[in-house]
Structure formats: structure tokens, C-alpha cells
Amino acid sequence: MSRDEPRADLLMLLMRSASALAEQINAAVLAEGHSSLRPAHGLLFLRVAGDGATVSEIAAYLGITKQSAAVMVDELVASGYVSKQPHRYDRRSQLVRLTSAGADVTTAATNAALFRWKAASTTLGADTMASLVLALEEIGRDGTPRPVW
């Protein structure tokens, strides 16, 4: 196959790459002692980082039901990774935020992703990585990150 031929297996290549990266990040998080976490929790952590999010917002972001999101949040509250606080503007809602343990997990995951980026940059070169980012931004322009259940 020449470099100019379209690749019908593009989706499989992207999925394999995403899966490999998720596994490497998850392995780093587990190595830091966070054995109760799954890769899907990482997407929840991304959504609640900073200003926090409601269970409804988390459910919409993850593409799951509010009930499933509530169960996941309750598990993470019990494990000490997130907390629920009164919402500033909506008394019917609670805001889910990272605790210091949740922030530690996010740091471990970020460090693992950066390590993989640096390794790929060493192998492929900075120009190729920059082109890859542009290509992936174009390919995924209308996409939303979803966990693979």
C-alpha cells in the first residue's frame, strides 16, 4: 500500500491507538495505588476538573443515563476521589468536584500521557507529531469523547 492510498482501516488504527494510550494511562494510575479506578473515571475527572459539574452534566458528557452517572459519582465519593457540594445557583443540584485524591489521579494520568507523547515525539519527530495533532483535530472535529464500555 502506498502512502497516498486511502486507508479503510483508519477507524481501527485510531481505536487501537486510543486503547493503547488509555491502557498506559490506566497502568500509571494503578501503579500510583488507585486500584479501584477504571479508564471511564478519567473522563469523569476531566469533566469535573476546575469548576465541577452536576450529575446531569456528567451524564451528558459521558453519554450515559443520569442514574448511571449518579452511581459512578457515589462510588467515587465513597472512594474519596470526588465530593458533592451544594450548587451555587441551583438548590436542586449538587456540584461534583475533585478532591485532592482526585487531583492526584489527574496528575498521574497527565504525566503518563505526557510521557507517551514524549516517547512518540522521540520516535516520530516533532514535525510529525504536530502534523498528527492537526490531522486528529480535523478528523475528530465533530466528535465527543466517550468511554468504551
Write the CATH number for 15. Answer: 1.10.10.10
What's the start-to-end Cα distance of the chain, in Å? 33
**pLDDT tier for residue 148 given thresholds of 50, 70 and 90:** low
User: Is 1 part of any domain?
Assistant: no
Q: How many domains does the chain have?
A: 1
pLDDT digits (tens, 9 = 90+) for 85-128: 988 888 888 999 999 999 999 999 999 999 999 999 999 999 99
User: Is 26 part of any domain?
Assistant: yes
Residue, of 80 and 140, whose pLDDT is higher = 80
Q: Cα separation of 45 and 76, whole Å?
A: 10
Q: Cα separation of 57 and 98, whole Å?
A: 15
pLDDT digits (tens, 9 = 90+) for 4-63: 777 888 888 988 998 899 899 999 999 999 988 988 898 899 999 989 999 999 999 998
